[in-house]
């Protein structure tokens, strides 16, 4: 039943509750869709046996009245989350054969709530990238294509596989992570909803670390309501993560559909960048109009240090990554290359195990932390980080949420930014400020480009105020009414 | 501050990543490109600004002094490239 | 006053040594600093390893409260500043026994700041060693190089164990001062219970920084605080015995002097002491300059302590060595020297106080410092508050009683103790069995004395001229009584009979 994969997460759960179908049926439908969508390369690993086992167990629970909030829902898991007994590669040769003996906290909570695992989703290697082109498992192809073109486009990154899978109906929802925009930008490129919650809302325990002070897990889904549902299961205090917020998880779903009348929406003038495509500007204006129509007050605000966010990010993130990735050394797990002594083994293992982008960032990170440069680069970047955070603190005295475009363009072609790392970095210009300040940020599909490609708008909220984002996003979702799905060109003709 | 070949070589060694001599010039150029783009941070007036090391507004949580983990060497060694008798086996360290 | 500054005479003149020590003390805890794996000796390889210690992907540190408390207690024991705000930093380098590729330590903002330790020289005089700081850090695992000629075996049981690194200022001027400092520091840690002080197991070890300078230079350094007055220093790592500390310093100081006298320069480097050869050798190749790239650990938040908590910890501290020593002197009238020997180990002082209850303090002190300690050392046994091996407090108090009541002379007492040591039983039983009761019968003694004086007129006269010659008579009486006469009584009687008063 292919229409089972067209359901939203919420509708699927309702269908399971009203016994229109079983989780096994629902899961099988997705497994079948995955089989015929391999051209997209969204999944690094499919776990059909496990999925059907979990689905069967769910059906038993449901029959005895024991269903959890996500019971029976088949989900995809970004291959950055360690899943016990199931290979976890982080998109890297370094971990090609790594099988964790432990389960990440976020995914344990999904299984606790009854969800079903379809497989591990493709990503940029070690979550470093904006196009999913750096994965050792090959690039992910965006299910969306420009009108009249069969050019392969990127789904964005690093959570490219997650976004593509949700957009193509290969799972009801997917876990993802966001360090500089890796949930929001792929969501925008694929016409899906993605939210990076407040830093500390979701536990980082068991998620392969990239940049500790920036990484956050979050869901990618088809609708705002689905995102609220999934985040509710993913979030929560974890004593095993010292940066995890010791606060109760709000009922995010309750915020969906709430009135936003009287909320003040900030529009930061610095986000109007040179060379911004007219249609993105137009979409932004459209978004403002929707919110005004819903009773919001729109305020122009200033976030003066916006343009320095990207360079600051490209110091802080690589610095932390250079240290977090030191454990990938061939000694206790993962790839071990040949070497005639210890140093050679280290150097060959890491040269062979890591791709070019990861190596670049490790080298930059090591450089900016090294003796003589630490103050000029790393400390300077942390000071700029505080300035950026302070900018938002002032902004919150004038508004309750901020509206910006998510990305400076629609999905671009594979290989387009291959030669210039900096050009690739510029993809995150609208999103990195949010990670630096630790704020919640949500991207929702707001329209299509002239080429028929999805465009997203981003809502940025006060710390801990995911609720307001869900309320605003659900209003905009209704107004935008982006019901189009990508044409499923990828189904193997047989 | 320009990154030259000698610097890349040194940084690669510090990072324990083997980079063949032939690629060093191109790598240096690429890294330089990135660093030059980063230079614009110098434009920001950060006098008197405290570095922001954490966006979390709570105290460092503490754990009780209780043994809750360990006791299973096989779990620790499960993914080891080489292990013997409960030890990780690694290339010889020369002191 | 004797100078305790060690001098080395070279061809070109005199040299002095300057020493600073970084002592690593393993915190006495059940679990590790940032993980819930067990701490301790003797487990099979990798059996006391959490996934966090093994640095598996996605693992995160969580700080052990008990370890923080021990660091605070130790800081208070060092009379040091407790920093209410401190931070953990990553020290980055690659080594197989360091799984994450970085050690979580404290670089810029340690938990404890400046303090000081009073240290005793052998002659009883004291000197002060200033403490620079104390910080918490993770220990590394163990790399074993001799199990396989072509490979290294790694056991991570120790990886992640909490260490307190105690950094002194360069205030020691001789090998003896350095080992005395470590001894005192160890004593303080053991009194606090924050470290078990087991140097053999490596739970307490020292990195010794050695440099040499010309006379006068050190004083300039203390005046100005500028290190330019001191020589280049070398660090000798992981020395874990008092003897090795002294030997390593001796060798290293001379090595440096020789180089300098030949017109050479000292390379700042890390060295290891080889106890078999009695030499230090360079540890790392010269081109491997370590750039640790310290930065704040982003998986942890700043550590903020409440003053009220510190105050409550302070109120609960046990009596520390210096306080105990002062109290033993004032309360029991002991000499500072005797008190110093007794407080070296807490249980020893406790034993003293148990014995001193209702007995002569000086006698109790001497019994411990002379008889008990000798016995303990010979048996390689520990003195506890209950005694040592089979020699218990009740036996010792009985023993003291016998001496005080004059039942046995001090000479006989030694014999009694030796028999106690060999396990013959309690002191009373021994005295009875061997008929060792002191002869106090003045009648019998008088008879012996009268006879001796009569038989030795020459000696009797000699005594009048040289009163010390009375010792000869005392010895004779002791001989005749088989050592059982009460020397005090004999002395008194002899004096009277020989006309001395």
Q: Report how far apart, in Å, the C-alpha atoms of A454 and of each of A121, A190, B41, C327 are.
A: 21, 6, 33, 82
Q: What is the mean pLDDT of residues C74-97?
A: 97
Quick check: C457 pLDDT over 90? no
Answer whether residue B49 is part of any domain: no
Which residues in chain C have Cβ-Cβ distances shorter than 8 Å to B60? 63, 300-304
CB contact under 8 Å between A346 and B44, yes or no, is no
DSSP three-state, residue A183: coil
Contact present, C160 and C152 (Cβ < 8 Å): no
Contact present, C364 and C400 (Cβ < 8 Å): yes
DSSP letter string over A245-306?
Answer: --SPPP-GGGGTT---TT-EEEEEGGGS-TT--HHHHHHHHHHHHHHHHTT-EEEEE--TTG
Q: What is the mean pLDDT of residues A450-472?
A: 97
Which residues in chain C have Cβ-Cβ distances shorter than 8 Å to A241? 60, 62
Q: What are phi and psi of A161, to 5 degrees?
A: -65, -45
Q: Report the pLDDT value the prediction gives residue B55, as an integer from 0 to 100.
A: 92
Which residues in chain A have Cβ-Cβ distances shorter than 8 Å to B32? none
Which residues in chain A have Cβ-Cβ distances shorter than 8 Å to B58? 245-246
CB contact under 8 Å between B65 and C29, yes or no, is yes
Which residues in chain C have Cβ-Cβ distances shorter than 8 Å to B75? 51
Rounded Cα distance between A264 and A287, Å, is: 14
Rounded Cα distance between C43 and C40, Å, is: 8
Answer whether residue B12 is part of any domain: yes
Q: Which architecture does CATH list for C442-498?
A: Orthogonal Bundle (1.10)
Q: Count Cβ–Cβ pairs < 8 Å, chain A vs chain B.
A: 162
Which of A331, A363, A369, A440 has the most B C-beta neighbours within 10 Å, making it the best mutation to test the interface with B? A363
Rounded Cα distance between C48 and A473, Å, is: 49
Who contacts C129 (Cβ-Cβ below 8 Å, separation ≥6)?
C116, C117, C119, C168, C169, C171, C172, C177, C181
User: CA A392, A397, A400, A405: dihedral to nearest 10 degrees?
Assistant: -40
In angstroms, the separation between the Cα of residue A348 and the nearest Cα of chain B is: 6
Which of A367, A373, A378, A422 has the most B C-beta neighbours within 10 Å, making it the best mutation to test the interface with B? A367
For the segment C121-151, what is each residue's pLDDT rounded down to a tens digit?
A: 888 789 999 999 999 999 999 999 999 999 9
Query: Could you say which of B58, B72, B93 has the minimum Cβ distance to residue C143?
Result: B93
Report C:125-154 residues touching B (Cβ under 8 A).
143-145, 147-148, 150-154
Answer whether residue B95 is part of any domain: no
Which residues in chain B have Cβ-Cβ distances shorter than 8 Å to A463? 57
In angstroms, the separation between the Cα of residue C394 and the nearest Cα of chain A is: 52
Q: Report the pLDDT value the prediction gives residue C329, as an integer from 0 to 100.
A: 95
Q: What is the mean pLDDT of residues B79-91?
A: 96
Q: Which two tokens stand for residue C318?
A: 């046990």
- Which residues constitute the domain of residue B36? 5-42
Q: Report the pLDDT value the prediction gives residue C286, as an integer from 0 to 100.
A: 47
Rounded Cα distance between C396 and C403, Å, is: 11
Q: Report the pLDDT value the prediction gives residue C495, as an integer from 0 to 100.
A: 85
Whether chain C has a CB inside 8 Å of the CB on A342: the answer is: yes
Query: Could you say which of C60, C101, C295 has the minimum Cβ distance to residue A242?
Result: C60
In angstroms, the separation between the Cα of residue B77 and the nearest Cα of chain A is: 7
Quick check: A245 pLDDT over 90? yes
DSSP three-state, residue A148: coil
Contact present, A218 and A195 (Cβ < 8 Å): yes
Quick check: A217 pLDDT over 90? yes
Task: Say if residue C1 is exposed, middle or buried (CB neighbours under 10 Å; 0-12, 13-18, 19+).
Answer: exposed
Quick check: C479 pLDDT over 90? no
Answer whether residue B32 is part of any domain: yes
For the ranges C19-33, C227-241, C258-272, C442-456, the lowest mean pLDDT is seen at C442-456
CB contact under 8 Å between C152 and B91, yes or no, is yes
Q: What is the mean pLDDT of residues A271-277?
A: 88
Residue A407 banded pLDDT, cuts 50, 70, 90: very high
Average pLDDT, chain A: 96
Chains interfacing with C (3 or more CB pairs < 8 Å): A, B
Contacts 24+ apart (CB under 8 A), A58-66: A58/A23, A58/A114, A58/A116, A59/A22, A59/A23, A59/A24, A61/A114, A62/A16, A62/A17, A62/A23
Whether chain C has a CB inside 8 Å of the CB on A207: the answer is: yes
A478 catalytically annotated: no
In angstroms, the separation between the Cα of residue B30 and the nearest Cα of chain A is: 8
Which residues face C103 on adjacent strands? Answer: C91
Do strands A297-301 and A264-268 pair parallel, antiparallel, or not at all (unpaired)?
parallel
Residue A31 banded pLDDT, cuts 50, 70, 90: very high
Catalytic residue among A182, A244, A449, A471: A182
Query: Could you say which of B7, B51, B93 has the minimum Cβ distance to residue A386?
Result: B51
Rounded Cα distance between C88 and C108, Å, is: 8
In angstroms, the separation between the Cα of residue B82 and the nearest Cα of chain A is: 8
Which residues in chain C have Cβ-Cβ distances shorter than 8 Å to A211? 298
User: CA A50, A51, A54, A57: dihedral to nearest 10 degrees?
Assistant: -110
- Tokens 């040949």 map to which residue? A338
CB contact under 8 Å between C60 and A240, yes or no, is yes
Query: Could you say which of B37, B56, B79 has the minimum Cβ distance to residue A333?
Result: B79
Q: Report how far apart, in Å, the C-alpha atoms of B71 and of each of A332, B74, C34, C422 are.
A: 17, 9, 17, 44
Q: Report how far apart, in Å, the C-alpha atoms of B28 and of each of A348, B6, C141, C179 are.
A: 19, 9, 36, 51
Report C:217-236 residues touching B (Cβ under 8 A).
none
Chains interfacing with A (3 or more CB pairs < 8 Å): B, C
DSSP state of B22: G
Query: Could you say which of C61, C99, C154 has the minimum Cβ distance to residue A327?
Result: C99
List of domains in chain A: 2-259+465-480 (3.90.1300.10)
Q: Report the pLDDT value the prediction gives residue C483, as an integer from 0 to 100.
A: 77
A152 catalytically annotated: no
Q: What is the mean pLDDT of residues A52-67?
A: 97
DSSP letter string over A378-405?
Answer: IIHHHHHHHHHHHHHHHHTTT-SEEEEE
Residues of C engaging A, defined by a Cβ cutoff of 8 Å: 51, 54-63, 90, 92, 94, 96, 99-102, 152, 154, 291, 293-295, 298-301
Locate the chain B residue with the closest alpha carbon to C295.
B53
CB contact under 8 Å between A389 and B34, yes or no, is no
Which residue, A134, A86, A99, is CA-closest to A356? A134
- Tokens 């500089």 map to which residue? A180
For the segment B63-75, what is each residue's pLDDT rounded down to a tens digit?
A: 999 999 999 999 9
DSSP letter string over B59-73?
Answer: PPPEE-S---B---H
Does this model's pTM top 0.90?
yes
CB contact under 8 Å between A205 and C59, yes or no, is yes
Distance from the first to the final alpha carbon of chain A: 17
Which residues in chain B have Cβ-Cβ distances shorter than 8 Å to C296? 53-54
DSSP state of C83: -
Q: Report the pLDDT value the prediction gives residue A494, as an integer from 0 to 100.
A: 40
Who contacts C275 (Cβ-Cβ below 8 Å, separation ≥6)?
C244, C247
Locate the chain A residue with the closest alpha carbon to C300.
A242
Rounded Cα distance between A26 and B19, Å, is: 49
Residue A2 banded pLDDT, cuts 50, 70, 90: low
- Tokens 């980055």 map to which residue? C92
Quick check: A440 pLDDT over 80? yes
Interface pTM, i.e. ipTM? 0.96
For the segment A282-293, what is each residue's pLDDT rounded down to a tens digit?
A: 999 999 999 999
DSSP state of C367: I
Rounded Cα distance between A386 and C427, Å, is: 77
For the segment C305-320, what is each residue's pLDDT rounded down to a tens digit?
A: 999 999 999 999 999 9
What's the structural domain count of chain B? 1
CB contact under 8 Å between A208 and C298, yes or no, is no
Q: Count Cβ–Cβ pairs < 8 Å, chain A vs chain C.
A: 95
Which residues face A454 on adjacent strands? Answer: A448
Which residue, C341, C114, C343, is CA-closest to C225? C114
Average pLDDT, chain C: 92
Which residue, C143, C144, C189, C136, is CA-closest to C160? C136
Answer whether residue B25 is part of any domain: yes
Q: Which two tokens stand for residue A438?
A: 């630790």
Domain with CATH 1.10.10 in chain C: 442-498
Which residue, A172, A101, C472, C331, is CA-closest to B79? A101
Do strands C270-274 and C234-239 pair parallel, antiparallel, or not at all (unpaired)?
parallel
Whether chain B has a CB inside 8 Å of the CB on C238: the answer is: no
Which of C51, C56, C57, C108 has the most A C-beta neighbours within 10 Å, making it the best mutation to test the interface with A? C57
Quick check: C287 pLDDT over 50? no
Q: Report the pLDDT value the prediction gives residue A252, as an integer from 0 to 100.
A: 98
Q: Which two tokens stand for residue C499?
A: 């006309």
Which residues in chain C have Cβ-Cβ distances shorter than 8 Å to B89? 148, 151-154
């Amino acid at each position: 039943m292919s229409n089972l994969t067209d359901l939203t997460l919420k509708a699927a759960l309702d269908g399971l509750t009203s016994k229109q179908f079983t989780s096994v049926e629902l899961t099988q439908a997705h497994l079948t869709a995955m089989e015929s969508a391999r051209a997209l390369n969204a999944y690094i690993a499919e776990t059909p046996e496990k999925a059907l086992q979990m689905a069967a167990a769910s059906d038993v629970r449901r029959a005895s009245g024991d269903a959890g909030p996500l019971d029976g829902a088949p989900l995809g898991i970004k291959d950055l989350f360690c899943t016990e007994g199931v290979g976890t590669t982080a998109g890297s040769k370094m971990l090609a054969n790594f099988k964790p003996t432990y389960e990440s906290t976020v995914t344990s909570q999904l299984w606790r709530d009854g969800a079903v695992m379809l497989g591990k989703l493709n990503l940029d290697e070690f979550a470093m990238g904006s196009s999913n082109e750096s994965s050792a498992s090959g690039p992910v192809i965006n299910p969306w294509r420009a009108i009249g073109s069969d050019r392969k486009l990127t789904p964005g990154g690093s959570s490219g596989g997650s976004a593509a899978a949700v957009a193509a109906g290969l799972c009801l929802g997917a876990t993802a992570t966001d360090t500089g925009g890796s949930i929001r930008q792929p969501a925008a490129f694929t016409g899906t909803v993605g939210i990076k919650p407040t830093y500390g809302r979701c536990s980082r325990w068991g998620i392969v670390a990239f940049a500790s002070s920036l990484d956050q897990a979050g869901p990618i889904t088809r609708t705002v309501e689905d995102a609220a549902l999934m985040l509710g299961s993913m979030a929560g205090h974890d004593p095993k993560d010292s940066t995890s917020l010791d606060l109760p998880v709000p009922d995010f779903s309750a915020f969906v559909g709430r009135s936003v009348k009287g909320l003040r929406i900030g529009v930061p003038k610095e986000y109007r960048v040179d060379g911004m495509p007219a249609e993105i500007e137009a979409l932004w204006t459209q978004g403002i109009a929707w919110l005004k129509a819903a009773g919001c007050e729109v305020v122009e605000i200033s976030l003066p240090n916006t343009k320095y966010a990207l360079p600051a990010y490209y110091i802080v993130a690589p610095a932390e990554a250079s240290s977090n990735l030191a454990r990938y050394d061939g000694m206790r797990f993962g790839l071990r290359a040949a070497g005639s002594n210890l140093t050679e083994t280290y150097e060959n293992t890491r040269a062979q195990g890591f791709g070019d982008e990861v190596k670049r960032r490790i080298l930059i990170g090591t450089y900016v932390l090294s003796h003589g440069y630490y103050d000029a680069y790393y400390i300077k970047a942390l000071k700029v980080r505080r300035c950026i955070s302070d900018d938002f603190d002032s902004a919150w005295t004038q508004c309750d949420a901020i509206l910006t475009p998510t990305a400076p363009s629609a999905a671009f072609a594979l290989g387009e930014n291959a030669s210039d790392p900096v050009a690739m970095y510029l993809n995150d210009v609208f999103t990195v400020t949010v990670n630096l300040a630790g704020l919640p940020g949500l991207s929702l599909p707001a329209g299509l480009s002239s080429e028929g490609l999805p465009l997203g708008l981003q809502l940025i909220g006060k710390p801990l105020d995911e609720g307001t984002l869900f309320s605003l996003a659900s209003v905009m979702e209704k107004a935008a009414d982006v019901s189009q799905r990508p044409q499923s060109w990828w189904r193997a003709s047989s | 501050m320009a990154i030259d070949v000698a610097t890349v070589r040194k940084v690669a060694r510090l990072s324990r990543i083997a980079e063949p001599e032939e690629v060093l010039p191109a790598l240096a150029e690429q890294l330089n490109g990135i660093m030059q783009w980063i230079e614009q941070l110098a434009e920001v007036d950060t006098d008197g600004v405290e570095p922001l090391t954490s966006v979390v507004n709570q105290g460092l949580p503490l754990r009780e002094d209780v043994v809750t983990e360990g006791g299973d060497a096989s779990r620790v060694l499960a993914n080891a490239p080489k292990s013997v008798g409960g030890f990780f086996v690694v290339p010889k360290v020369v002191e | 006053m004797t100078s305790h500054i060690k001098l080395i005479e070279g061809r070109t003149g005199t040299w002095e040594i300057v020493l600073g020590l970084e002592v690593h003390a393993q915190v006495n805890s059940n679990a590790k600093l940032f993980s819930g794996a067990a701490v301790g000796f003797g487990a099979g390889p990798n059996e006391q390893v959490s996934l966090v210690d093994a640095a598996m992907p996605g693992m995160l540190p969580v700080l052990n409260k008990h370890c923080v408390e021990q660091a605070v207690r130790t800081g208070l024991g060092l009379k040091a500043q407790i920093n209410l705000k401190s931070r953990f930093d990553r020290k980055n380098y690659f080594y197989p026994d360091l799984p994450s590729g970085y050690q979580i330590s404290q670089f810029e903002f340690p938990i404890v700041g400046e303090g000081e330790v009073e240290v005793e020289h052998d002659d009883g005089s004291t000197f002060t060693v200033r403490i620079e700081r104390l910080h918490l850090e993770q220990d590394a695992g163990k790399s074993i190089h001799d199990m396989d000629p072509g490979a290294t075996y790694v056991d991570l049981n120790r990886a992640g164990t909490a260490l307190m690194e105690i950094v002194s200022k360069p205030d020691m001027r001789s090998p003896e001062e350095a080992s005395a400092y470590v001894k005192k520091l160890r004593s303080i840690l053991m009194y606090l219970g924050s470290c078990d002080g087991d140097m053999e197991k490596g739970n307490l070890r020292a990195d010794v920084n050695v440099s040499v300078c010309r006379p006068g230079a050190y004083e300039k350094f203390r005046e100005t605080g500028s290190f330019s007055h001191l020589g280049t220093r070398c660090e000798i790592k992981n020395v874990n015995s008092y003897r090795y500390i002294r030997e390593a310093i001796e060798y290293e100081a001379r090595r440096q002097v020789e180089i300098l006298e030949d017109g050479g320069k000292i390379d700042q480097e890390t060295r290891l002491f080889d106890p078999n050869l009695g030499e230090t050798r360079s540890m790392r190749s010269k081109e491997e300059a370590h750039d640790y790239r310290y930065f704040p650990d982003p998986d942890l938040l700043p550590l903020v302590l409440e003053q009220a908590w510190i105050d409550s910890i302070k109120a609960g501290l046990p009596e520390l060595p210096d306080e105990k020593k002062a109290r033993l002197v004032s309360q029991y009238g002991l000499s500072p020297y005797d008190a110093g020997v007794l407080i070296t180990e807490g249980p020893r002082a406790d034993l003293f106080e148990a014995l001193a209850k209702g007995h002569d303090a000086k006698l109790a002190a001497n019994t411990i410092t002379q008889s008990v300690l000798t016995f303990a050392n010979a048996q390689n046994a520990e003195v506890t508050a209950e005694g040592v091996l089979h020699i218990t407090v009740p036996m010792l108090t009985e023993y003291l009683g016998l001496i005080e009541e004059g039942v046995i002379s001090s000479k006989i007492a030694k014999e009694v103790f030796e028999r106690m040591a060999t396990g013959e039983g309690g002191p009373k039983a021994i005295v009875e069995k061997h008929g060792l009761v002191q002869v106090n019968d003045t009648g019998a003694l008088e008879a012996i004395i009268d006879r001796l004086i009569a038989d030795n007129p020459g000696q009797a006269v000699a005594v009048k001229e040289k009163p010390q010659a009375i010792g000869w008579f005392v010895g004779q009486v002791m001989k005749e009584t088989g050592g059982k006469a009460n020397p005090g009584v004999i002395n008194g009687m002899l004096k009277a009979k020989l006309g001395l008063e």
